[in-house]
Structure 1
């Protein structure tokens, strides 16, 4: 690692500081901030800058150990001054400091001025009052300073500047610079949380982790295998906490094990005056009625240095103090964990309540610990209320076999809460469908239960059937299955599943208004069952798709962004999926760079953490969103990345996810198009449309046929015209006009369609339509309009980041009036493919390919194959 560390994130402060000090009217500056935020380093850099421009710099540092010695800070200039009175000593010291320097070019820096002895403080005061030097002083926030020092900024003699901790972005930049590689998300998040913008703490953490061998670089990213805290960091924190009485240290330790904790809870455990003293010393801080450590690293250090018995006792005290409150889910889960790790006897009711709360927060690891603790305490019987939640938690952790074993241990499936949705049947069916990847067995479990189920139990089971039908790409059957269901008599979990399934079914059928109506109703019930709150993610995904597929793209992006904001306080697994949903919407809008960033969140934000990647939301999202990432990469020009991503998606294809088959086929189309294999691309888009048509996925069929048209397929007009008659979705009508204009070689119609797509928000389709308009104008001899349309196509494609790989935009850039087949072959020639290779790609004979190459060369005015390739490459930039 570099030494010294680079100064990152302080450019503004450094510039302001050096300018202020060099101003004749300025007597000096006092920097105020917490320990370790970088005051000393900033002073050093500013002093160095002024010294480089001819200033004389005198630097002193005050320390607590020398505070009892008069003039200790200025000792080197106080030699041979024994016997003089204090006033004479002060005058002589001021003169000694200025010897050989002009007062207007003399800088005296004093680090930690709050630790100056009284006489040294008077020297500083005289330097300022007498104009003998410009001074630059640091002092720690919240610490008392000598009166002579304090009056310098209270009376306005020195400019007071408060130095804030580094921002998260600057801290991460500093961390990356010191590590030499980017930290992985888990490493970055933990180090940033502990350092909280404190550069000194960050340095201690990084150096300890590095020298102890706890850092390793994997796939170009640094991982931190956490093990303890740096001894030097412990010393720093202990020095900052200082010599406090036992009651104050108890406050620090209680908050360290219980934060964030309610102030009323803290008051039940420790003395009020000790709380006030700890707050005054900035050892704790309060926001409203919630108490936190003054700095995150304080808690880390105290939890690592307190003895285990003391920690167990303190956790028990906090858990008991929380009993009379009315905490939310987070506090209920926190209380259960504290109880579990305390010296209190096991309490089944506490553990069960906390486990359910943890599950509602998607913290399934904690939920599993607490359910298991309740089981071990003898409170878990064999009925629905006991072991089914444990099995469900294991299922949500993707531990299918363990979940199955727990379900096998349940004596009866309907002896407790027969109307509850989470029962042996539904959990087993879900486990078989997703985790065990056995759709047929899952369907059989529900079939067997439906054979005898009646009333609310039957309605709840129909929700399971609806989601099975959804994944199987049977949207009409979803609506039929739920037509006679009484949502009012259903468990709220089941109602959420049923309504979400109906939302997607309507979206698939091109009924976006009905999809929105079902989503509104679903949102009303999604929060009524704590265990089902994660279903809001799937609802957001289904509604985002329904809107985007219909051509209501701005609304789709709004829904996805709102969903991401709603997940910010939930675990990483929820945020990963929310990022992917937003990536899906941004891909529909044609914002390729942003789409790629969001769709790679499963790699950058979750899958490096085994606990996160194994959670149900993330584990089941990977296959659904990987083909979308492949599309985005292909359309951005990253052909190799797109091919690798698509291959990974196919290798991980989930047998239950039939409904996204067309998404994978469209990814094949765009990957082929990015490689200029246009015939192959059109065939893949047509296969996607045929699959969607065979499964009543009207909205997907329209989207797939539109893609085929974007790739130059002129045979889609009739079917798109039919589809436009059965749906009011904006995309259907525009796509039908696009296909008709392309088939008729109508440049004016193509130009109008390009504008319509842009208004819809589908920027890439707008670029492709403009590209087709340019080619059509060129064929009809309208050179000026062709250039205008080509420029529009290039502008739109470049805005979206996809101009380089779009066949239509590429065709617009070629001024030669090639036929579609000649253009495709010319592009493949430009890639360096032989005639035999090209023949295999486009499914033609070698002789036919040779003929097309000859014709294309003639139109381009060249006689050699190499010249044709060079001309095409030059046209495409």
Structure 2
């Protein structure tokens, strides 16, 4: 394995404060003048749990001491070395004679003299790893060396293990500092892994890695190396992604198994029982294995007890305590141990745990789910009904893989259409839309034949419609087949609830296809019916609201959001998402008002809330929305990281072409960051995803990606043409037309022409951005520096920093043309200040308007000069821009004169543009 991942030492992260303390301790030891003066603390002892990086920290401190001229030595105590007196310290001075001494004092003096002879006059920095394993003689000798100021000691001790008294004296008596090293926080593990990989890693995979490694840096390293070796961790679309498998490679097994050494067969069985049930109620664990055995495992740190309390009920005294839960000391112990026990023994233990949990006086839905899962995997007797109920619980926990396994077990046992629908829901949640459609098509006749007018019958049809419309339309992009399926349901069942529900799904097909007015009219037919049921209200109100937002009628959507919030507040199963939909749509309204600051803050809050739910699909959508908001703000580096995580997550939970949309936004972030190669790669990946018949409101971001890539390539005229052409065909979503027209303006399109088109859009919309965009175009068209400067405040107050910086640069140019020097200087400085917030984003307005030399060039001169600066020949430039070579030469001649340069090589420095990437690297 090559690269930074395979380095023997991973980067040191989040330990700078502790490293500083160790450095101070080494310096204090070196500064002690002589043995006649009071002994100063000479070094430090690091106490920490296994695997949290104490050895790595000490290595860094020793390396720094060596760099500063201190002699250094390293030794590691082991269980085997403890069997022989002084063997841990012999490697420090191999030539020292440790025999023939009749007293410890004589031996200690002789060893100290040997140290001085070997390492010179400067005090030796001695590192002792795993000092808790030192034999009594070595510990005493070490204490003597510190007391005599022969060495500055750095040592590590594993927390919770017995230590020789001599080592304890070192820190208790102030001879050495004691440094307690805490485990890594999740964010620190993420930073460690990203730096070790030399690239970004999807946020959901970082969080999953943290859970599996429990913040243990050693286990994290070995897990990452094992996952790379087996291909379960690999780089895709510019980001490292992990499929969640824990590969039991020999190296990982060896590292983790060190903690399992010495266990008896009975202890392994007990640990295996807890591993299967983790978390396992303590009373249940005590039924299936010996209590003393469990206590021993707890004492060894292989098990831990997690007390659980709930809030005090009204009128009760003290909190209500639920049974304590028994958990593994580390998640990887279970992975390794069950692998060692083998499949047959594991299945036997599963049946044992299932019987014990089932014997409890009361069972929760989670208990029933786990029992059904254990019995299914162990080949036990379990009913179709129990498996279907368990699948529903797994679905609520967003565990799609488990839900599908349980639902298929139910289907195989005669679960019928309900089981088939459960299978399809779970398959949809894993992007396996073909599998969902296949199982639903098989039960269509049975569902259509259901004449049950009870609530359960209606729920069956609703669930079927939801799952199959998702598979056919959003998943497989077959709108015609989806509409035909809806027609068949409406033809067979003419009751109002079914017809309303069918209409609700039809509105979704219409709105996603860009037929917004039709969607609004059909939704109104349902919503105006006094007999409409709540589920149909949810479907139609949410789609009508989305249609209004896409039309730019954001204020008109507000009453529908109130109606959705009221539905969500009823806490009725199936309606809980109403409030979430209303909240997300309200955020879209903020986006079309340009409220980037509030939008980012709220989306980050939603992400924190979702992190604990396990709903990866919703998190992917939130990350995608957050990335879009960060692009609105003009921070491409932040957007790139967010969108990479969204792309990775949506590879497993992708509905309606969202992954293609996220890739297009990622291409924008890469292009704005100046990485045109990565931008092209992301855009190409988005093209390879079939989005035929999917959501047309995504189109502006595909167009924007193409335009920004053209800008990064130096094709400014083409970039503006791409944006303007996209605006001309966008259709009903008026807000999308406004976005693309404004992009064309920012890329150099004629301001007067753009202003004329934007005024029409602003007249038919209720949100703020079309009006602001029109004011921007009008100010540029009139060259009004004062009007442009007032717009800077508008954009900055909303958090649209990049646009504000561009407008300030344009205001500066307008003031300069009007000979208003103070205004030109003021707005130029403001543009630079705003641009500094934008993480290096480069756009034509910033690059050219904010540079007094480049501003003198015409747009075509700028374009030709930019391409020449990247290293293209005149012929290559002529071919790309469809010009003659003579015209290119003329533009360059004029540009050289205006820029005050004489050579082509000077263009790069003046324009801030480097040579283009070679084709083989693209």
Superposition TM-score tier, normalisation by shorter sequence: 0.7 to 0.9
Distance in 1 (CA, whole Å) between partners of 2:793 and 2:241 is: 48
Equivalent positions of 1:122-133 (< 5 A) are: 122-123=140-141
Deviation at 1:26, TM superposition (A): 0.7
Distance in 2 (CA, whole Å) between partners of 1:242 and 1:835 is: 72
The counterpart of 1:16, out of the listed 21, 28, 33, is: 21
Distance in 2 (CA, whole Å) between partners of 1:26 and 1:459 is: 80
Tell me if structure 2 keeps the 8 A contact 1:590–1:764.
yes
The counterpart of 1:633, out of the listed 648, 665, 670, is: 670
With over 3 angstroms needed to count, the CA separation of the structure-2 counterparts of 1:786 and 1:117, relative to structure 1, is closer
1:406 and 2:443 aligned:
no
Segments of structure 1 that go 5 or more residues without pairing to the other structure are 607-611
Identify the residue that residue 31 of structure 1 maps to in structure 2: 46
The counterpart of 1:664, out of the listed 692, 702, 722, is: 702
1:159 and 2:183 aligned:
no
1:533-560 deviation digits (Å, cap 9, x = unpaired) = 8898876664433321222222322332
1:702 and 2:753 aligned:
no
Identify the residue that residue 586 of structure 1 maps to in structure 2: 630
Tell me if structure 2 keeps the 8 A contact 1:639–1:675.
yes
Deviation at 1:818, TM superposition (A): 5.4
Distance in 1 (CA, whole Å) between partners of 2:412 and 2:857 is: 76
With over 3 angstroms needed to count, the CA separation of the structure-2 counterparts of 1:535 and 1:637, relative to structure 1, is farther
With over 3 angstroms needed to count, the CA separation of the structure-2 counterparts of 1:49 and 1:627, relative to structure 1, is closer
Distance in 2 (CA, whole Å) between partners of 1:595 and 1:221 is: 14
The counterpart of 2:659, out of the listed 622, 627, 630, is: 622
Deviation at 1:477, TM superposition (A): 3.1
User: TM-score, normalised to structure 2's length?
Assistant: 0.79
Distance in 1 (CA, whole Å) between partners of 2:838 and 2:718 is: 24
Distance in 2 (CA, whole Å) between partners of 1:502 and 1:214 is: 43
Deviation at 1:724, TM superposition (A): 3.4
Tell me if structure 2 keeps the 8 A contact 1:673–1:807.
no
Identify the residue that residue 438 of structure 1 maps to in structure 2: 478
Identify the residue that residue 764 of structure 1 maps to in structure 2: 802
Distance in 1 (CA, whole Å) between partners of 2:866 and 2:26 is: 63
Tell me if structure 2 keeps the 8 A contact 1:592–1:800.
yes
1:187-218 deviation digits (Å, cap 9, x = unpaired) = 97777655545455456657777889999888
With over 3 angstroms needed to count, the CA separation of the structure-2 counterparts of 1:251 and 1:164, relative to structure 1, is farther
Distance in 2 (CA, whole Å) between partners of 1:332 and 1:599 is: 38
Deviation at 1:582, TM superposition (A): 0.8
Equivalent positions of 1:671-820 (< 5 A) are: 671-692=709-730, 694-695=731-732, 697-710=733-746, 711-713=748-750, 714-782=752-820, 785-786=823-824, 788-801=826-839, 804-807=842-845, 809-815=847-853, 817=856
Identify the residue that residue 643 of structure 2 maps to in structure 1: 599
Deviation at 1:311, TM superposition (A): 1.5
With over 3 angstroms needed to count, the CA separation of the structure-2 counterparts of 1:244 and 1:862, relative to structure 1, is closer
Superposition RMSD in Å: 4.6
Distance in 1 (CA, whole Å) between partners of 2:884 and 2:86 is: 95
With over 3 angstroms needed to count, the CA separation of the structure-2 counterparts of 1:339 and 1:156, relative to structure 1, is farther
Moved more, 669-678 or 18-27: 669-678
Counterpart secondary structure, 1:354: helix
The counterpart of 1:461, out of the listed 463, 482, 502, is: 502
Moved more, 350-359 or 788-797: 788-797
Distance in 2 (CA, whole Å) between partners of 1:684 and 1:213 is: 40
Moved more, 814-823 or 645-654: 814-823
Tell me if structure 2 keeps the 8 A contact 1:626–1:649.
yes
Counterpart secondary structure, 2:46: strand
Equivalent positions of 1:132-147 (< 5 A) are: 135-147=153-165
Counterpart secondary structure, 2:447: coil
Identify the residue that residue 314 of structure 2 maps to in structure 1: none
Identify the residue that residue 609 of structure 1 maps to in structure 2: none
Moved more, 263-272 or 90-99: 263-272
Distance in 2 (CA, whole Å) between partners of 1:78 and 1:833 is: 74
1:92-125 deviation digits (Å, cap 9, x = unpaired) = 3322332245799366655444344455555555
Deviation at 1:133, TM superposition (A): 5.8
1:278 and 2:311 aligned:
no
Counterpart secondary structure, 1:144: coil
Distance in 1 (CA, whole Å) between partners of 2:488 and 2:696 is: 23
Tell me if structure 2 keeps the 8 A contact 1:496–1:526.
no
Tell me if structure 2 keeps the 8 A contact 1:473–1:658.
yes
Segments of structure 2 that go 5 or more residues without pairing to the other structure are 33-39, 309-324, 914-922
Identify the residue that residue 356 of structure 1 maps to in structure 2: 392
With over 3 angstroms needed to count, the CA separation of the structure-2 counterparts of 1:511 and 1:238, relative to structure 1, is same
Distance in 1 (CA, whole Å) between partners of 2:556 and 2:755 is: 27
With over 3 angstroms needed to count, the CA separation of the structure-2 counterparts of 1:523 and 1:110, relative to structure 1, is same
1:419 and 2:437 aligned:
no
Identify the residue that residue 609 of structure 2 maps to in structure 1: 566
Distance in 2 (CA, whole Å) between partners of 1:174 and 1:790 is: 40
Distance in 1 (CA, whole Å) between partners of 2:162 and 2:222 is: 26
With over 3 angstroms needed to count, the CA separation of the structure-2 counterparts of 1:386 and 1:680, relative to structure 1, is same
The counterpart of 2:348, out of the listed 301, 310, 313, is: 313
Deviation at 1:853, TM superposition (A): 8.0
Tell me if structure 1 keeps the 8 A contact 2:41–2:174.
no
Distance in 2 (CA, whole Å) between partners of 1:642 and 1:51 is: 45
